[in-house]
Amino acid sequence: MKAKFIFAANLLLGLGLLAFVLVRYGSPALAILGAGVSIPTLAAFSVSVAMTIVSLSWRWGWILGGVCTPPHLMRLTLYRSASHTLAVLVPSGKIGGDPLRAWLAARDRVAPGAAIASVAVDRVLELASSSPFSLVFAVLLLQHGIPQLEPVLVTVGVATLGLVAGITIAVRRLRRGIGLVAPLVHRMGLDRLRIIDRRMDVLAESDTAAAELVGRPRRMLVAFAAGLVANLLVIVEFTVLLAAFGLPTEPTAVVAAIFATGAAHMLPVPGGIGVLEGANVWLFQLLGYPTEVGLAVGLAARLRELVWMLPGVIYLLATSLSKSLSEIRET
């Protein structure tokens, strides 16, 4: 109940912030977006988004292939997009959709333990491949006169070191056959709950599958490299998106848009409403751009979010509609 109240309050604050910037700067920002729009470049942007989503889905399938036969890439892409949709709507630093992704894979004849392990390993590799880019982005913005980001650089650096340490410990435990998830659940006493106790075998299977993946370093290296490629594609996405609306496409501007968008989803605000737009306004003001330009970038980034969510929304709606029709036929 407390979490729901906090999320609701944050959503209202986000909506208030969004309303404020739209009332004051919405018209000039929309005028900027409308004046320089290029339909062919927008089409190229859509292609770049599709390439990013497919590359991330391919990496997940490559990881999953280390422990079982993965579903077809098209289905994995739909599952990946659906999980992203849920992760955006539920403020959780992008991991809120991972249980859905594992469930969809398990429903597609993937062993539950393998599904859980593949999603967990995929998420860790995503964090690992994104960390170098976050560090470089923060350094670049600092060099261009944004000292306010110095604490962020320290935080990202410490988080990166913590991630490396955590991965090292996890790999050692898995190689020794100790496991991670099942022992943690037991130590926390969660296995005393009936719903957890009945699924301890699945958690043990996920540890076994994770250990099998760790024992395939070449496969993990390829997956890590695929993550680096996906991050490069994100840079292409933002560059083409900003160019499509005639917005600044200098490297610093592109980095600022990526940095602000990523930071917005780390805050407990559903959909990053208001925060995404506000973060872009703030960063672009610090870079010397007018407020309406920053808001225009924020609105363009919001469009990117919607394009990313579109396949997942269509899939979830189609699945829900199909289920409803099946229930109607049965009755």
pLDDT (tens, 9 = 90+) of the chain, 331 residues, equals 555 555 566 556 666 766 666 666 678 888 888 887 899 999 999 999 999 999 999 999 999 999 999 999 999 999 998 888 888 777 655 666 788 888 899 888 898 888 888 888 888 888 888 888 888 888 888 887 777 667 766 777 777 777 777 777 777 877 777 776 666 555 545 456 565 566 777 878 888 888 888 889 899 999 999 999 999 999 999 999 999 999 999 999 999 999 888 877 776 666 667 778 888 888 898 888 998 998 899 989 988 988 888 888 888 888 877 776 666 666 6
Backbone angles phi, psi at 323, to 5 degrees: -65, -40
Distance CA 178, CA 115 (A): 20
Extents of the domains making up the chain: 38-317
Residue type, position 87, single letter:
A
Does the predicted model carry a pTM greater than 0.75? yes
pLDDT of the residue at 92? 58
Compute and round to an integer the Cα radius of gyration of the chain. 21
List of residues 6+ apart from 328 with CB closer than 8 A? none
268 backbone dihedrals φ, ψ, rounded to 5°: -75, 60
What is the per-residue pLDDT for 211? 87
On whether the CB atoms of residues 101 and 83 are closer than 8 A, the answer is yes
- d(CA 245, CA 260) in angstroms, rounded, equals 18
Within a 13 Å sphere around the CA of 71, how many CA atoms are in the beta-carbon half? Answer: 22
Q: How far is CA 137 from CA 19, 227, 231, 259, 280, in A?
A: 29, 17, 12, 7, 14
Report the C-alpha gap between 227 and 151 in whole angstroms. Answer: 26
Q: How far apart are CA 193 and CA 164, in angstroms?
A: 32
Q: How distant is the alpha carbon of residue 220 from its chain centre? A: 20
> What is the rounded distance in angstroms from the CA atom of residue 320 to the CA atom of residue 315?
8
Using DSSP, state whether 274 is helix, strand or coil: coil
* Closest-CA residue to 95 (of 268, 320, 211): 268
